[in-house]
Chain A
Amino acid sequence: MKRTTLDLWVGFFVAIGLASLLFLALKVGSLTPSSSSESYALQARFGNIGGLKVRAPIKSAGVVVGRVKDIRFDQESYLAIVTLDVNANYQFPRDTFATINTSGLLGEQYVGFEAGGDEVMLKSGDVIKKTQDAMVLEKLISQFMYNKASEDDGK
């Protein structure tokens, strides 16, 4: 085989390999420049975070506006402190309501933001005051059973 054809084939091979790596990075792993865009951190305290995980999405009106950065347990208040990384493009009022929701019946859990009416916006490092815990199925069922039993007693 001539040297130039050999070089050509090897160059072709390396180009294909690098193209596949690029495909994996951009199309499969969605490593887009915007994913490293600026963000600001908020904190929220929850009595129960259910199955929330680090890197879970934060959605407002169904649109992803950030990701969960860190989850810690506060020894003093016995609450979970969730650090939220919100995209700097989005601002939320100070009385925004943070809830932990589940996408679908068995899907993953995410943090939902419901914007309030306050004029002052949340700044980096602020704590979201109004939160709602994750729904725990067992609690829900036992509550339902309890209500049912008390109803029957009343009759």
Chain B
Amino acid sequence: MLEAVLDSIARLGHRVTSRVQRLGRASVFLGATLLGSGTAWRRFSLIVRELYYTGVLSLIIISVSGLFVGMVLGLQLYETLQRFGSGTMIGGVVALSLVRELGPVVAALLFASRAGSAITAEIGLMRATEQLSAMEMMAVDPVARVVAPRFWSGVISMPLLAALFSAIGIFGGYLIAVVLIGVDEGTFWSQMQDSVDFRLDIVNGIIKSCVFGVVVSWIAVFEGFHAAPSAEGVSAATTRTVVTSALAILAADFVLTAFMFTGA
């Protein structure tokens, strides 16, 4: 009886220590990536190449999702606001919810599953096929040559993608509210400009998306670089990237929101 209790406590302890160890390794790896970024910034074409894969190829999914999220917001919020006779507030409500929360968060979730998983799979396969070891043999630092450009491309493209998501989402809300429902166009925009503050709402949204960019890219390169060198290892690492990124984004979002938008 006592044996079983001690056993389960030991298992819990092992789980916690292994998590903490992993977090420590990830932090050391982030430090190494940042230190090894010099090459990537000096040879900027390395980052540009990765920007194509993380940024340009995410354009379609980000714009289509943004459009639909904006249109759904328009429909649902109008329905509810109409009950209080304030259907004209739709512009401000759609813009605020997109710029403050949905833009950065949903774009980051999509980015993690579209680009983050691709980065992990790519680096993981390089590890599995011993390309990374081959680089080390040739005295090429794989962190500087492979990891840093991918990390920075993620950090750069995330805020741009989040801004695009918000802008297209607002356009979707405009389509529903003005074109479909027939809210006055002038009211729609002026209501929006009245309620959205540049410093408080837009800048904070951009800060959020920058933080998410760092978090997602960090998780993606770390999982890929430390994937077990096998088919299962790569697939498990890709799954972990998506799951951990999603949880990390939502947790970071809560903390950031609590700091940014309370007491204002």
Q: Which residues of A contact B (CB under 8 A)?
A: 1, 3, 6-7, 9-10, 12-14, 16-21, 23-25, 27-31, 55, 106
Contacts and interface: CB of A to CB of B under 8 A. Distances in A.
A55 B197 contact: yes
Contact of A28 (B45, B51, B84, B192): B192
B202 A25 contact: yes
Given A28-B192, A29-B202, A17 B159 contact: yes
Interface string B139-168: 000000000000000000101110110111
A140 B196 CA distance: 33
B59 A13 contact: yes
A121 to B, nearest CB: 28
B18 interface: no
B202 A24 contact: yes
A28 B202 contact: yes
B160 A31 contact: no
A14 B99 CA distance: 19
Contact of A29 (B55, B84, B86, B198): B198
B233 to A, nearest CB: 29
Interface residues of B, number: 31
A48 to B, nearest CB: 23
B254 interface: no
Given A6-B48, A29-B196, A12 B161 contact: no
Interface string B192-226: 11001110011000100000000000000000000
Nearest to A7: B48
Contacts of B170: 24, 28
Interface of B: 45, 48-49, 51-52, 55-56, 59, 84, 86, 95, 99, 157, 159-161, 163-164, 166-168, 170, 189, 192-193, 196-198, 201-202, 206
Given A6-B49, A28-B95, A31-B198, A20 B56 contact: no
A16 B161 CA distance: 9
B164 A20 contact: yes
A13 B58 CA distance: 10
A31 B170 CA distance: 17
A30 B56 CA distance: 28
B196 A30 contact: yes
A29 B167 CA distance: 12
A35 to B, nearest CB: 8
B59 to A, nearest CB: 6
Contacts of A10: 48, 51-52, 55-56
A24 B55 CA distance: 19
A16 B59 contact: yes
Contact of A18 (B160, B161, B168, B192): B160
